[in-house]
Structure 1
Amino acid sequence: MADGVARSPAAALERLDEITRRLRRECPWDREQDERSIVPHTVEEAYELADAAASGDDEKLLDELGDVLFQVHFLSLLLEERGAGSLAAVADACREKLVRRHPHVFGDVEAETAGEVRRNWDEIKRTTEGRAGAGLFADVPDNLPSLLYARKVLRRAERVGRGADRAAALEHLEIDFDRLAEDGDRTREALDVTIGEMLLAVVELATAVGADPELALRAATKRRERRIGDDVAADE
């Protein structure tokens, strides 16, 4: 070990676990937390991690990965305190799931393309993992961010041949643009429906062409932010 940095992943994780346990014992704020109060911080850290990954800043990515890792340790410790699990149980369950969902790596199933891997993955979730009797969208969380929720629903619909369709998405966008361009008063409810359908069509189009709508929108917003910032700076 040099400069306080553990050389092996196992040693580093053990040290982080020790710190997490000490904080839980000795820090008044950490002692008060439960999974309901800590998860908003988990979500915030996940978004900061996504931003770091999109920025291409490796130093920032390293830092944000650590914040998310601490969240995993802390939530696992809460499970351990009530005898419902542990960090080891979390890691073992994750390992078993990855092995089960990658039979083309750990078994004798063949999958030559990413699309085949995803179809196998979905089929394993539906059958092997006891979800066959549930509805098509039963395990799609309602509280996902809207873009991710729409994308997940569309991808799940692929199982029944109703997935994202590029031509249909473009047609829906054209129809909805025409509706917005029409003269006359429109109620707030009608506008909400039209805008919602347009947003869904954009997500469908992105999914159909293999783009991630969340990342695409974030990148476009960043470009707009920079342009406005540059214009404001130029006027000063």
Structure 2
Amino acid sequence: MESAGGDAVARLDELTRKLRRECPWDREQDERSIVPHTVGEAYELAAAAQSGDDAKMVDELGDVLFQVHFLSLLLEERGTGSLAEVADHAHAKLVRRHPHIFGEVEVDSSGEVLKNWDQIKKGEDGREPGIFGDVPENLPGPLYALKTQRRAASTGFDFDHVPYDGVTGELEELEAAKTREETFHEVGDVLFAAINVARKLKVDPELALRASADRFQERVQAAEEIAKRDGKAWDALDTEAQLGYYTRARTLLER
């Protein structure tokens, strides 16, 4: 099995090099033009994982693997890295961050593993100083908030319970907001508090939010179809009538 996997990776590497040499589009690319595709493929992989579609996961993992090969080849062309160096670097990092497997450290829970992981990261070369030094500012909002909270928690600044009351408190402050500036501030606090609850429950807020948006889309589309069967145009209905169809659609979809 290991040999078959190595042969498959070697074939992909050969293909990547051929595309880089012979395809006009691939020859024009650099890391800045490719990375947006890498991010897109990562999101598609996340969607496949969330849906539980293993065949789709195989497909999307292949796309991500190609991105790794292509970006590694760009490093090789500049003489600053290679796929082998990328793999060796990942191997060394994982060994270093798992001292409970490859060292003498003992842990009793996954929470301790994560705490050790964060502490080890702080001492690695190239890390930005400060508690939040290595939190990239260009992350999507939910992930940026999640990583910010995790960094704070790694210092011991964390709740020992799921802070549902934090969301409730922030909602009350939002309801009491008087100005647009206050509303902007309090909406952010509500979202931040909700992400903190997700973190404590070990739920990815980005994936959970996308799944919620997908459910909403499905229900609205179903409501529109029900209205159409009743001879009603969705856009012509008032809000109360739309909510009635939405409730019917939700009930049907949840059966």
TM-score, structure 2 length as denominator?
Answer: 0.82
Q: Which runs of 5+ in 2 are unaligned?
A: 229-255
For 1:171-190, list aligned pairs within 5 A.
171-182=165-176, 186-187=179-180, 189-190=181-182
Q: 1:15, CA displacement in angstroms?
A: 0.4
Q: 1:226, CA displacement in angstroms?
A: 1.6
Which residue of the partner structure matches residue 28 of structure 2?
32
Instruction: Report if the CA contact (8 A) 1:155-1:164 is conserved.
Output: no
Which residue of the partner structure matches residue 59 of structure 1?
55
TM-score, structure 1 length as denominator?
Answer: 0.88
Which residue of the partner structure matches residue 89 of structure 1?
85
Instruction: Report if the CA contact (8 A) 1:136-1:157 is conserved.
Output: yes
For 1:31-180, list aligned pairs within 5 A.
31-127=27-123, 129-130=124-125, 134-164=129-159, 169-180=163-174
Q: Distance in 2 between matches of 1:182 and 1:35?
A: 47
Which residue of the partner structure matches residue 199 of structure 1?
191
SS at structure 2 position matched to 1:37: helix
Q: 1:21, CA displacement in angstroms?
A: 0.4
Q: Distance in 1 between matches of 2:70 and 2:100?
A: 34
Instruction: Report if the CA contact (8 A) 1:45-1:67 is conserved.
Output: yes
Structure 1 residues 119 and 179: alpha-carbon distance in aligned structure 2, compared to 1, 3 A threshold: closer
Which amino acid is the alignment partner of residue 206 of structure 1? A
Q: Distance in 2 between matches of 1:204 and 1:73?
A: 35
Moved more, 189-198 or 15-24: 189-198
Q: Distance in 2 between matches of 1:198 and 1:24?
A: 47
Aligned mate of 2:218, from 198, 202, 226: 226
Instruction: Report if the CA contact (8 A) 1:150-1:203 is conserved.
Output: yes
Q: Distance in 2 between matches of 1:133 and 1:225?
A: 41
Instruction: Give 1 or 2 for the bigger CA radius of gyration.
Output: 2
Q: Give the alignment's Cα RMSD to 1 decimal.
A: 2.1
Runs of 4+ aligned structure 1 residues displaced above 4 Å come to: 164-167
Moved more, 113-122 or 129-138: 129-138
